[in-house]
Amino acid sequence: MICEYYNVSFNKMDTLKHLTPFVFLLACNTQQGETATKKDIAINKVDTAFAVDDWQRGFELTHNPDVDCIWGKPVKYYISNPKCSPLAINFYKGTFRPTDNDSTAHLLLLATTDDKELRPFYRWCLNKTILIQDGALSEYTGIPARRYAEKFPQEFFEYIDSDSSGSKYLDWVNSILYSGFEEKDDYKRPEEIRKRMTGRMLSNCANCSYKMQQRIDKFAQDCFK
């Protein structure tokens, strides 16, 4: 896919871009002697801080919506849609970082929208948030992940199967296991939670095969042990 090709190319360029300041700094040190000056130390601190603050590192983004692809479509397809949430657009741009607030809760629940054109983009936002979650943010991903899987079970498994390593499945399961409890759920009665979960998934599974039913049962078992 063209988008994937450009992503690879960009990653190489991005690596060179980040290496350039270090190459320059090394040259300066060679000319000025082996002892680092206060200015050199300050530059190194700035570079380190930048690396830590780059919360989208690992997302494999160019931030060019014509190049970056989500579920087979360029990002421009989603963000040019007048119905697209500004929160999701800003998440892609990196100007909105999820944290423990209402805006994050709203963004993540967008993955359950009935708008099938924008849903892959919102699901991407949820999945990436699951990848970077830690601390309080971990409390926000479980319910949206569970509701998406319950509402669109066939779509959910198609999405999960796109990752042959199985890590995406484990990420979503662990997210639901950690914070996917609804208000009426009794964590001491996981069998009741599983029953509700499988019931919803089966009711939303059109022409559900026996194999799919088995997958749903296993998924519920993995989420609420």
Q: For the segment 59-102, what is each residue's pLDDT rounded down to a tens digit?
A: 999 999 999 999 999 999 999 999 999 999 999 999 999 999 99
For every residue of 36-72, DSSP letters joined together read PPHHHHHHHHHHHHHHHH-TTTTS---S-TTT-EETT
pLDDT in tens, 193-212: 999 999 999 999 999 999 99
Do 47 and 154 lie in one domain? The reply is no
- More confidently predicted of 60 and 7: 60
Q: Which residues contact 206 (CB under 8 A, 6 or more apart)?
A: 154
What are 103-162's pLDDT values in tens digits? Answer: 999 999 999 999 999 999 999 999 999 999 988 999 999 999 999 999 999 999 999 999
Confidence band (pLDDT; 50, 70, 90) for 3?
A: low
Q: Is 29 in the same domain as 134?
A: no
* Residues 19 and 115 occupy one common structural domain: no
Q: Flag whether 77 is in a domain.
A: no
What DSSP state is assigned to residue 95? Answer: S
The answer to whether 140 and 101 have CB atoms below 8 angstroms apart is no
Shared domain for 37 and 102, answered yes or no, is no
Judge whether 68 lies within some domain. no
> Is 123 inside any structural domain?
yes
pLDDT of residue 135: 87
Q: Going by C-beta distance under 8 Å and a sequence separation of 6 or more, which residues neighbour residue 185? A: 192, 193, 196
Q: Which residues of 167-190 are buried (b: 16+ CB within 10 A; e: fewer)?
A: ebbebbbbbbbebbbeeeeeeeeb
- On whether both 201 and 110 belong to a single domain, the answer is yes
Element (H, E) at 190: helix 190-203
pLDDT, tens digit, for every residue of 8-60?
444 444 444 444 444 343 343 434 333 333 333 333 333 333 334 589 999 99
Same domain, 151 and 209: yes
- 17 part of a folded domain: yes
Is 177 a member of any domain?
A: yes
What's the whole-model pTM score?
A: 0.77
The answer to whether residues 177 and 129 belong to one domain is: yes
Residue 10's nearest CA partner among 54, 55, 69, 51 is: 69
Residue 97: closest CA among 135, 70, 76, 125 = 125
- Looking at the fold, whether 23 and 98 belong to one and the same domain comes out as no
Number of domains forming the structure of the chain: 2
* Inside any domain, residue 135: yes
Residue 35 is assigned to a structural domain of this protein: yes
Furthest CA-CA distance within the chain: 74
Buried b (16+ CB within 10 A) or exposed e, 128-163: bbbeebeeebbebbbbbbbbbbbbbbbbbbebbeee
Question: According to the model, what pLDDT value does residue 53 have?
Answer: 56
Residue 88's nearest CA partner among 54, 126, 62 is 126
Domain that holds residue 26: 2-53
In a domain, 179, yes or no: yes
Task: Tell me the CB-side half-sphere exposure of residue 63, using CA atoms within 13 A.
Answer: 10
Q: What is the pLDDT of residue 39?
A: 34
Same domain, 46 and 96: no
